[in-house]
């Protein structure tokens, strides 16, 4: 079963490598094409999720899952042994859903930041949101607030919100948003938080240091339904907001003056999209830690596969980003079983070589 796990990704990666040879006519976005690509990638997402349920240290046979799919939820779960039922629905299923939501959040935010900032290296953390969240999370771990309900996520999200306020305040973006100024403000704030992270790590106890380092490299092992529901709600709200402005974003990418002449309220659109992407990123980071490369390479892959129209790029990136993180997390929890790796290690090992390929391809 495991040898078929990466089949959809090998297929889609092969498609991305040849996508640049398509004609411009193939890139025309219609509602029919949006639905076709979305349904295809959703099928990939469902397939990957189903296989991920079966992969792990405690092996689960195919028969219970087939019963679940074809005979109904209640009958299948009733016939399952209690151990397998716990593994499937209390451990693996929440984690799979959680990984899918977080991957979708980071990928969508990456699409928006790369489009608005016109920077192919932009990722969801470019404004320093990860640094603010990390400081909040480490403070919660060191002080013991993590033992309270929503302890780490709550403090980490507060740190992300503080970062957003600081960056926009330093950049002076009350009337206009200048990409260069915003990026520099993000670099400054992130540098300050990086120093704060080093200080906090240096004074942390050995037990707290392990928890902090796992969080800094991304950890999906503590997925709870409350976190899933909250993150899923922000994902839906963020996606709807971004998709409403997707046509305006297409025009802004071609040039702000052109967009203004075509009736787009450029400054309002930029502010709404930047704030929406920042909040979605802050929510994702606050519950999962810092997971690199997802929001950086997935938009590039989908842009090569489906074109640069954000009406198609947003849903395709969200679905494939979720599938990618599910695969990465499945590898992280099985490759060194019974121990686990931080999922950020796997995404970096997968993402860095692919991004090097992209850089070499653009400079060739």
| Domains of the chain, first to last | 32-363 (1.10.3470.10)
Distance CA 101, CA 319 (A): 9
Whats the size of the chain, residue-wise? Answer: 364
What angle is formed at CA 188 by the lines to CA 201 and CA 272, rounded to 5 degrees?
A: 110
**pLDDT band at 23, cuts 50/70/90?**
very low
Distance CA 299, CA 61 (A): 35
199 Cβ contact partners less than 8 Å away, ≥ 6 residues apart? none
Asked whether 4 and 54 are in contact (CB, 8 A), the reply is no
| Single pTM value for the model | 0.87
Distance CA 125, CA 190 (A): 9
Is the confidence at residue 201, as pLDDT, over 50?
A: yes
* DSSP codes joined into one string, 287-340: HH----SHHHHHHHHHHHHH-S-HHHHHHHHHHHHHHHHHHHHHHHHHTTTTS-
> What pLDDT does 322 receive?
96
Question: Which tokens belong to 114?
Answer: 């790369």
pLDDT tens-digit series, residues 250-283: 999 988 888 998 889 998 999 999 999 999 999 9
> What pLDDT does 21 receive?
41
Is the confidence at residue 212, as pLDDT, over 60?
A: yes
> What pLDDT does 168 receive?
86
Q: 3-class DSSP state for residue 80? A: coil
Distance CA 226, CA 232 (A): 10
For the chain, give the mean pLDDT.
Answer: 83
Higher-confidence position of 293 and 363: 293
What b/e string do you get for 275-300 counting C-beta neighbours within 10 Å, with b at 16 or more? Answer: ebbbbbbbbbbbbbbbbbbbbbbbbb
**Nearest CA among 36, 38, 45, 35 for reference residue 9:** 45
**pLDDT band at 17, cuts 50/70/90?**
very low
Q: What is the mean pLDDT of residues 236-247?
A: 96
Is the confidence at residue 13, as pLDDT, over 60?
A: no
Is the confidence at residue 10, as pLDDT, over 50?
A: no
Is the confidence at residue 24, as pLDDT, over 70?
A: no
pLDDT tens-digit series, residues 34-74: 999 999 999 999 999 988 888 877 656 666 566 665 555 55
Question: Which tokens belong to 1?
Answer: 């079963």
Indicate the range of 5-19, 191-205, 270-284 predicted with least confidence: 5-19
Question: Which tokens belong to 183?
Answer: 């990026």
Number of Cβ within a 10 Å radius of residue 104: 32
The residue whose two tokens read 């996508």 is 19
Asked whether 225 and 164 are in contact (CB, 8 A), the reply is no
Report helix, strand and coil shares of the chain as percent, to nearest 5.
80, 0, 20
CA distances from 222 to 32, 134, 174, 240, 313 (A): 39, 17, 39, 28, 30
pLDDT tens-digit series, residues 72-116: 555 445 456 677 777 777 888 899 999 999 999 999 999 999 999
> What pLDDT does 340 receive?
86
CA distances from 159 to 22, 71, 156 (A): 44, 46, 5
Higher-confidence position of 328 and 148: 328
Number of Cβ within a 10 Å radius of residue 48: 26
pLDDT tens-digit series, residues 292-338: 899 999 999 899 888 889 999 999 999 999 999 999 999 999 888 78
Number of Cβ within a 10 Å radius of residue 78: 10
């Amino acid at each position: 079963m495991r040898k078929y796990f990466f089949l959809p990704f090998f297929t889609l990666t092969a498609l991305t490598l040849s996508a640049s040879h398509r004609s411009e006519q193939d890139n025309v976005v219609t509602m029919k094409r949006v639905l076709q690509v979305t349904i295809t990638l959703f099928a990939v997402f469902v397939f990957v999720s189903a296989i991920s349920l079966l992969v792990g240290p405690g092996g689960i046979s195919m028969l219970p899952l087939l019963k679940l799919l074809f005979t109904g939820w209640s009958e299948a779960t009733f016939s399952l042994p209690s151990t397998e039922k716990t593994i499937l629905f209390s451990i693996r299923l929440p984690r799979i859903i959680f990984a899918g939501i977080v991957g979708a959040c980071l990928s969508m935010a990456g699409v928006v930041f790369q489009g608005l900032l016109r920077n192919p290296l932009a990722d969801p953390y470019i404004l320093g949101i990860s640094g603010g969240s990390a400081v909040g999370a480490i403070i919660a771990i060191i002080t013991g607030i993590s033992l309270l309900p929503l302890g780490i996520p709550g403090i980490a999200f507060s740190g992300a919100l503080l970062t957003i306020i600081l960056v926009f305040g330093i950049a002076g973006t009350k009337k206009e948003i200048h990409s260069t100024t915003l990026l520099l403000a993000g670099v400054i704030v992130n540098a300050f938080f990086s120093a704060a992270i080093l200080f906090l790590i240096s004074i942390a106890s050995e037990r707290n240091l392990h928890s902090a380092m796992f969080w800094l490299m991304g950890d999906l092992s503590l997925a709870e339904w409350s976190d899933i529901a909250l993150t899923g709600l922000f994902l839906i709200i963020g996606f709807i907001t971004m998709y409403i402005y997707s046509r305006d974003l297409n025009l802004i990418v071609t040039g702000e003056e052109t967009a203004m002449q075509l009736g787009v309220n450029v400054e309002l659109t930029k502010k709404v999209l930047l704030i929406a992407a920042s909040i979605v990123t802050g929510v994702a980071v606050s519950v999962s830690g810092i997971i690199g490369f997802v929001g950086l390479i997935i938009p590039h892959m989908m842009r090569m596969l489906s074109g640069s129209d954000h009406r198609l790029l947003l849903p395709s990136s969200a679905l494939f980003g979720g599938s990618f993180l599910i695969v990465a997390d499945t590898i992280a929890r099985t490759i060194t079983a019974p121990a686990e790796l931080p999922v950020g290690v796997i995404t970096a090992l997968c993402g860095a070589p692919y991004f090097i390929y992209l850089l070499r391809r653009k400079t060739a």
